Structures are given as structure tokens and as C-alpha cells.
Amino acid sequence: MADNSIRTELFLPIKLGNISLANRIVMAPLTRSRVNEEGVPNEINVTYYVQRASAGLIISEATNISAQGRGYVMTPGIWTEQQVNGWRKVTDAVHAAGGKIVVQLWHVGRCSHIDIQPGGECPVAPSAIKADCNVYTYIGPQEASMPRALKTDEIPGIIEQYRHAAECAKQAGFDGVEIHSANNYLLEQFLRDSTNHRTDQYGGSIENRARLILEVVEAVTQVWNADQVGIRLSPTTPEVGNSPLDSNVMATYGYLIQQLNKFKLAYLHFVEGATGKNRTIPEGIDLDALRSLFDGPYIGNNNYDLEMAISRHAEGKIDAVAFGRPFISNPDLVERLRYGIELAEVNNDAYYGNGEKGYTDWPKANDF
């Protein structure tokens, strides 16, 4: 039989740090809101991830590192024994199917509501600046609550939440972890001067605002080998919370990336443009120049199609490419891309909730 597959190195193996991938197509983290109130993955989640195990690497949906870190109901956690056991079923099944999976460690910071915070307390943030967004609570969408600024002596406790979650991820059988430092959640809230107005050692200068991220990376890499730890950044996205960009993106993120090089991480994962919306880059910002500062493998993300991925890979601008929404409606996305099979389209109704509908009921191309 003739081999009609598309010829590109994207379908060849690669190593990201010490994580060996069968191909360079990565499943991006996708919040789907299909776990129970305790944040425990169940059998439907096992099915969902196994269906997509042909991806070279699955990055799990954003996963809360603590009860305090949660901003949306029906999102998974990785801090309790029950959550670990639930994720273990997922990782075992993905590995049995020949796949690799890392967990994305998430603390939402100010993007939360008192109704879902422990004891009805205010969300925490670098500074008491309200997020301009809705979060999903037990009674539906509500405006994010006014946060309180973390006290300096509370910050070691935040770092400990990341360290503990990293330990739990190891127990759950993941192949590594990705530190979620993007989309204006807690770590990026500390990094940007638009959301960080602190005057202690975690605010003011670029070095101070990057401090928490680097301390979290240090803590996580004491649990995992650094070559099994990735990080996600989003220098030019206003989401979530409609947060203004840092006043000096090139200097701030340039400094951070150069400091990250000291850890020799598995990969850097960039949101190129505005998350899920467009690839428009503000004047004076050069994401490729920032990317080139990183010494290790680079995953490009945001509104890619195969043609763009092939082109940017050929130009040496990406080592792997992450697809998000196409993986929702195409569990066999790698095969469809490789053989030029038409992609199924997804609509917004399938994104969140609804059980199996729009989650595990998408047919593979050979099911027709």
C-alpha cells in the first residue's frame, strides 16, 4: 500500500529533556471541567486522555495545587491522596496506550471567588487588585472576588504548595510536570508590574518580581529532575482577568528566561499572542527573540495549523508544537494531520461540563 503520509520531522521522535516523545505534536492543556467536587479524576477522564495518547506528549488540563489555588469548580487537583489515585488511573492507561503525560501545576491567584475558597476567604494575589473576569462557581459564573495581598511570610507556604503538588504528581505516575506561569494566574501576576505593586523583595524590580517563579522552579526541581520539568509563559496575552501586559515585556521575560536557563529545564512552552484568540504581537515585542534566549527545547502554541507548524519548525523556531482546540474534537489528531484527513470542528458548547457529550464521543477518522 502506498504511503500517503505528509513528510515532516514533526512526526519523528524527539526528546524534551529526559522525556522521550514518539512525535513532536503536543496536546496543550485544556480545561474541560469534567471532574467531581473533590477534584478527583474518574473513568471518563481516563477515557478522554487515552483517546488522545497518540500525541507525542499530553500536557494535562491545568491542575490545582491546593484548595486555595482553585478558581473554577469541576477542575482537578493534585494535593490529596484521592486525587493522586484518580490521576494514577489516567497515567497508567496513557502509558499502556504508548503515550506520555505531564501534569500542569496551577494556582489561579486573584482569579477566584470567595464561594470556592476555603472558609470563604478572599483569593490571594501579589497585590489587592481585582481581576476583571468571571469565574465558575457552584451557582454559575460570578465576578472574581477582590483578592488580598499575600504577606511576605506567607510566600514560603505558596512555594510549599507547589513542592507538595510536585511530590503528588510523582506518586501519580506522571512523566514530568509543567509549571503554569502563564495566562495571568498567580505566578504571572507576580511577574507583571501591572498586577504586582509590592514593595518587599517580591515586588518593584524585575529581579524581585521574577523571584517567586524562580523559587517555585527551584522547589519543584528538588522533587523532579530538572529535565522532567517544563514551564509555560505567555508574555503577550491579556487573559485571564484582562490584565495589562508588563510595561517592559522584553526586559522582564528576557531576564526570567535567562535565569531559567540555570535549571536546564525539559522545555519552554510559549503562548504566542493572546491565548486562544490571535497571534497579534504588540509593537516593540519580539517573541522569537525571547524564545531564542532559552537554551533548551521550545514548544510553540496558539492558533497553529500544520502548515505553520511545518514552516516554523523548518526555520528552527519551534522544536515541537502544541495544539489545543483541535484535540478536543479530534482525538486522533496526530493521524489526521499525518495523513491529511479533514479535521472535525468543535463549538463552544463542548468545552466545559456536559459529561461525555463533546468530551469522549468524538469519532476517530477510521470509525466512519
Q: What is the mean pLDDT of the chain?
A: 94
56 and 307 Cβ atoms separated by less than 8 Å: no
Q: What is the pLDDT of residues 80-95, one digit of tens each?
A: 999 999 999 999 999 9
Structural domain of 38: 4-350
Asked whether residue 357 is assigned to any structural domain, the reply reads no
352 included as an active-site residue: no
Asked if the structure places residue 41 within a domain, the reply is yes
Q: In this structure, is residue 43 part of a structural domain?
A: yes
Question: Does any domain span residue 58?
Answer: yes
Would you say residue 291 lies in a domain? yes
Burial of 120 (0-12, 13-18, 19+ CB in 10 A): exposed
Question: Which residue from 321, 303, 322, 305 is spatially nearest to 313, judged by alpha carbons?
Answer: 321
* SS3 state at 231: strand
Is 159's pLDDT higher than 70?
yes
3 pLDDT band, cuts 50/70/90, is low
φ/ψ region of 107 (left if φ > 0, alpha if ψ in -120 to 50, else beta) reads beta
User: Amino acid identity, residue 268?
Assistant: L
CATH number of the domain where residue 304 is located: 3.20.20.70
In a domain, residue 356? The reply is: no
Average of per-residue pLDDT across 276-298? 92
pLDDT for the residue 1: 39
In a domain, residue 359? The reply is no
The angle at the Cα of 278, spanning 145 to 113, to the nearest 5 degrees, equals 10
State the pLDDT confidence band at 48, using cuts at 50, 70 and 90: very high
Q: Kindly state the greatest CA–CA separation across the chain.
A: 67
* Annotated active-site residue in 49, 185, 267, 359: 185
Q: Please, what's the b/e burial string for 289-325 (b: 16 or more CB within 10 A of its CB; e: otherwise)?
A: ebbebbebbbbbbbbbebeebbebbeeeebbbbbbbb
For 235-297, strand residue ranges (E) read: 267-271
Banded model confidence at residue 365, pLDDT cuts 50, 70, 90 = confident
Q: How many domains does the chain have?
A: 1
If pLDDT is split at 50, 70 and 90, which confidence band does 366 have? confident
Residue 367 is predicted with a pLDDT of: 54
Contacts of 301 (CB under 8 A, 6+ apart): 26, 28, 269, 270, 271, 272, 321, 322, 324
* pTM (predicted TM-score): 0.96
Give the mean pLDDT of 23-28.
Answer: 98
278 confidence band (pLDDT: 50, 70, 90): confident
Q: What is the CA radius of gyration of the chain?
A: 19
Confidence of residue 298 (pLDDT cuts 50, 70, 90): very high
pLDDT tens per residue, range 219-244 = 999 999 999 999 999 999 986 667 89
